[in-house]
Amino acid sequence: MNNRKEESPNPASNMEQSEADAELTQEQIEAIAKLESLGYKKIGHYDDKMRFGTNIPTGSNRIFDVEVEHLQFAASNVEDYREHQEYKGIMNRDGTYAEFMINYSSPHIPAGRAVEQNHWSYQASDCDHVFNPWTIRSGAREYSTGFHIRSPKKDACIELSEISPVSHFATPTGSTWWPEDYTEYTLKVWINSSGATEVNARKAQQIAHSVLFELDAKQGVQFSLISQGPTRVNVNRMKRSTDPQSISFPSTVVPREVAALFSFAGEASENPPFAFLSYYQVLEYYMPLVARRDALRRVRREIRDFSFDVSDDASVLRVLNTVERSKGVSEEEALKILIRDCVRVDRLTEFFQASEVAHHFSKNGPVAGVPTINTSSTSEALSTQVARRTYALRNRIVHAKDDPRYAATPQLLPRSAEANSLGPDIRLARFLALEAVIDNQD
């Protein structure tokens, strides 16, 4: 089959197109019935395509078209695949095949259009996979879309091509409806492996990341995998009121640096690690101020001690030792001092009262490699627990995985499942930042 597409600068939808007169075969009718029993609703039959809609518990409302000739294959195979846990897409039962939805760096160009705007040059593979790309004809230029390549060791294949019929059905978080001439493309990975399912899945994912990295590094073409689940994090638990908003002249004096960081954290709600680090940087701004204030308090306490004698060397040395200890305070210790001195205990306890928050910070929470928080603990103050966790999470975000100092806590990667679950930690960092601002008003 010689697929051919005409490039259209201004694609328009054709939703009013009348249904085709061609009758469906009995096998196709049975395939539709099975798909509808799985939660997919037939909307219409347009030429050689069947339009479906979804509204299933694990996904969202979608509309998509599937070639009529692919209905039986989709119905027979859809239950043999499951959603990828970390990225939008599907994988088979043993993890040797994965299909990933992709995103393009420009918000104004959908990924499918970007794929078709590129002419891909590659060495044809000698594998058994059938690759039948679209041919784009734009003026005098004619070229094929996508690519199919095989690894030098012949143990893996990568393909960028039109979304598979199964992926339309098995990916509840797939795309919404696009204009009629729009084709969605996915990145497909096959591996030859007899390993465990999770090992295979990680290998397929690593290959997908690698090919997209090289497209960016070598050609400057920036595609990415799409994180599973919502990436936008609500950094503020306050409910929006329908009552008129009370506005008054600001009574809080906020340094320019703090205001900029706090504002950026809200803008970075689609990048949870960035949002967390922005609030953490607010804490960093106040750490030296609070540590210096704590040092002065300790020095004054030594001087005011009734046993202090300026002519006694031991008394003077106690003051000097206090100063030296203050100069050698680590960042984690400085954070402990800040939370201890600036954050109100009752407000901190109140923060953890919500049941979903308590679960997030427990040992069964979604973020690994950081201390848990137990509000009932009698061995460690709540402020200390919060400081330890906040600092450890900061390290997981900013430190490289191969740093031996942080070998036990690998880097927390953007767009990962852990990153997408950072909401409560981000709200905690925001709360701590606000408390620091309040406590440091003149």
- pLDDT tens string 168-227: 777 654 445 566 677 889 999 999 988 898 899 989 988 999 999 888 888 888 898 887
Q: Are residues 16 and 74 in the same domain?
A: yes
Q: What is the pLDDT of residue 231?
A: 57
Q: What is the pLDDT of residue 174?
A: 43
Asked which of 16-30, 76-90, 138-152, 308-322 is least confident by mean pLDDT, the reply is 16-30
Residue 11 has pLDDT above 50, yes or no: no
Q: What is the pLDDT of residue 179?
A: 67
Give the C-alpha distances (Å, rounded to integers) separating 294 from 41, 381, 439: 66, 18, 13
In this prediction, residue 20 has a pLDDT band, given cuts at 50, 70 and 90, of very low
Task: For residue 1, count other CB atoms closer than 10 A to its CB.
Answer: 4
Residue 248 domain flag: no
Residue from 35, 189, 184 nearest 111 by CA: 184
Residue 369 domain flag: yes
Q: Are residues 290 and 151 in the same domain?
A: no
* Helix H or strand E segment including 284: helix 272-304
Residue 232 domain flag: no
∠ CA 166-168-170 to the nearest 5 degrees? 60
Q: Are residues 37 and 185 in the same domain?
A: yes
Q: What is the pLDDT of residue 173?
A: 45
Q: Are residues 219 and 315 in the same domain?
A: no
> Please, is 140 exposed, middle or buried when counting C-beta atoms within 10 Å of its C-beta (0-12, 13-18, 19+)?
exposed
Q: Are residues 221 and 261 in the same domain?
A: no
Q: Are residues 71 and 211 in the same domain?
A: yes
Is residue 415 classed as helix, strand or coil in its secondary structure? coil
Q: Are residues 219 and 300 in the same domain?
A: no
Q: Are residues 141 and 274 in the same domain?
A: no
Q: Are residues 203 and 291 in the same domain?
A: no
Residue 240 domain flag: no
Q: Are residues 158 and 272 in the same domain?
A: no
Q: Are residues 262 and 199 in the same domain?
A: no
Q: Which residues contact 201 (CB under 8 A, 6 or more apart)?
A: 84, 85, 91, 95, 98
Residue 82 domain flag: yes
Count how many residues are written for the chain.
Answer: 442
Tokens of 98: 């994965």
Q: What is the pLDDT of residue 128?
A: 87
Give the C-alpha distances (Å, rounded to integers) separating 73 from 34, 79, 154, 163: 12, 11, 27, 14
How many whole angstroms separate alpha carbon 360 and alpha carbon 271? 19
Residue 247 domain flag: no
Residue from 307, 89, 60, 78 nearest 205 by CA: 89
Residue 233 domain flag: no
Residue ending a domain, among 225, 248, 272, is 225
* Claim: this prediction has a pTM higher than 0.75: no
Residue ending a domain, among 225, 240, 267, is 225
Number of structural domains, the chain? 2
Domain residues for 397? 256-439
Residue ending a domain, among 225, 247, 264, is 225
Q: Are residues 199 and 91 in the same domain?
A: yes
